[in-house]
Structure 1
Amino acid sequence: MAEKVLIWAQTKDGTIAKDGSIPWHVQGDMKFFAQKTKNQVVLMGRNTMMSLHGQPLPNRINLVLTHQKDLEVPVGFKKVYSIETAEAIADEEQKQLMVIGGKGIYDSYLPIADRLLVTYLATDYHGDVMLDPIEGAWKKELLTEGEADENNDYAYQIWNYYRPTFR
């Protein structure tokens, strides 16, 4: 069974987007995202697909989860109509299923995710799409952190949340 991993960046208040895009530039987070999702199956919603301006993420299988049968997707994207179908594709490809947004898909997958990779930005930037705080039976470990500089609008920390195993 493919590992289900949610990956996102957020501000202190839980903001993940504003006006349909990510309103900051944090190169450390972008490199981490690229490294973790490369050669994997990425699952996104329609708005996340649209934020990519018709360009699928390279070296990834780009899936768009939708209920709209008539939704047109650019070349390089594939529509799926259920999370089970997305998981089956990841299983067939023997890859991780990387959930990359948006909020509705994160909310749907959070109860069944195996891991969360969350970048916390040291800012109170307020956007219009926000996630609730992470709750439940998660353990976490700090993976890396970086300072604000010419490549990073804000200082950041990247955390790995994982479900504890019971023995």
Structure 2
Amino acid sequence: MSETPVAIVVAVAKNGIIGREGSLPWRVRADLRRFRSTTMGKPIVMGRKTFQSLPGALDGRANIVVTRERGFSAEGVEVAHDFEDAIALAQTAAARLGADEICVIGGASLFGEALPLARRIYFTEIDAEPAGDVAFPAFDRAAWRENAREALPADGGDTAGAVFTILERA
């Protein structure tokens, strides 16, 4: 069985912020739709806090939650206690689902662990500089080449516009 590549799916404000008090500090509906279409049918790996910010397991995807809490369980998710175990579970799920990649969707510490492995980053830059308590880890953008770019203008109910890019490891 060949290894399924790892991708990161993230929305980052201009100041590096990705979260505030367990939620997104902006609303960009086009990005939420893109997130759903990008991750559908694939294993998604997330930390416990990211999972708890969601309404529950995301449908149509294999949900894998990484936590140090030994007694943690939730309906519709597989639990791993470290990143390596999560990726192993995701590899098995990807083979079962016929998925072409594994998506790491947060939070910051998992993004940091995924960056050296990732072959692709679905990177949405939010056109805002909100206050927040979680930031995306620093990474060398020169090590990545942009192969897609799309403006996501603010629409009714949105709090910011954004630019969606797909970065491939150079």
Give runs of aligned pairs for residues 1-167 of structure 1, distance below 5 A.
1-53=3-55, 55-71=56-72, 73-92=73-92, 93-94=94-95, 95=99, 96-135=101-140, 137-164=143-170
Q: Please give the per-residue CA displacement for 1:28-83, whole angstroms capped at 9, x wherever unaligned.
A: 10011000100100000010011114x10001100011232222x22101101233
- Asked if the contact 1:122–1:156 (Cα under 8 Å) also holds between the matched residues in 2, the reply is yes
- Asked if the contact 1:120–1:157 (Cα under 8 Å) also holds between the matched residues in 2, the reply is yes
Structure 1 residue 101: Cα displacement: 0.4
Structure 1 residue 156: Cα displacement: 0.7
Q: Name the SS for the 1:111 alignment partner.
A: coil
Q: Which moved more, 1:108-117 or 1:140-149?
A: 140-149
Q: Name the SS for the 2:143 alignment partner.
A: coil
Q: Name the SS for the 2:115 alignment partner.
A: helix
* Partner amino acid, structure 2, of 1:18: R
Structure 1 residue 151: Cα displacement: 4.3
* Partner amino acid, structure 2, of 1:84: E
Which whole-Å CA distance do the structure 2 matches of 1:130 and 1:60 have between them?
25
Q: Name the SS for the 1:90 alignment partner.
A: helix
Which whole-Å CA distance do the structure 2 matches of 1:107 and 1:132 have between them?
6
Which whole-Å CA distance do the structure 2 matches of 1:64 and 1:39 have between them?
17
Q: Name the SS for the 1:150 alignment partner.
A: coil
* Partner amino acid, structure 2, of 1:69: R
Which whole-Å CA distance do the structure 1 matches of 2:160 and 2:124 have between them?
11
Which whole-Å CA distance do the structure 2 matches of 1:146 and 1:163 have between them?
23
- Asked if the contact 1:6–1:116 (Cα under 8 Å) also holds between the matched residues in 2, the reply is yes
- Asked if the contact 1:142–1:157 (Cα under 8 Å) also holds between the matched residues in 2, the reply is no
User: Scaled by the length of structure 2, what TM-score is found?
Assistant: 0.88
Q: Name the SS for the 1:85 alignment partner.
A: helix
For structure 1, the residue ranges without an aligned partner over 5 or more in a row are none
- Asked if the contact 1:2–1:87 (Cα under 8 Å) also holds between the matched residues in 2, the reply is no
